Amino acid sequence: MTRGSLALAGPDETAALGRSLAARLRVGDVVTLAGPLGAGKTTLARGLLAGLGLDEDAPSPSFPIVIAYEELRVPVWHVDLYRIDDPEEAEELGLDDALVDTALVIEWAERLGPGRWPDALALSIETGPEGGRRLTWEAGPSWERRWPPAP
Ligand X SMILES: Nc1ncnc2c1ncn2[C@@H]1O[C@H](COP(=O)(O)OP(=O)(O)OP(=O)(O)O)[C@@H](O)[C@H]1O
Q: Which of left, alpha, beta for 78 (phi over 0: left; psi -120 to 50: alpha)?
A: beta
Q: Is residue 49 involved in binding ligand X (CB under 6 A)?
A: no
- Among 28, 75, 132, 140, the residue binding ligand X under the rule CB under 6 A is 132
Q: At what angle do helices 11-24 and 41-51 cross, to 10 degrees?
A: 40
d(CA 17, CA 22): 9
- Number of other CB atoms surrounding residue 101 within 10 Å: 11
Q: Could you say whether residue 102 binds ligand X (CB under 6 A)?
A: no
Q: Judged by CB under 6 A, does residue 43 bind ligand X?
A: yes
Q: Is 11 in the site for ligand X (CB under 6 A)?
A: yes
Quote the CA–CA distance of 68 and 148 in Å, as a whole number.
Answer: 26
40 forms part of the interface with ligand X (CB under 6 A): yes
133 binds ligand X (CB under 6 A): yes
Q: How many residues bind ligand X (CB under 6 A)?
A: 16
Least distance to ligand X from the beta carbon of 148, Å?
16
Contacting residues toward ligand X, per CB under 6 A = 8, 10-11, 13-14, 35, 37-43, 131-133
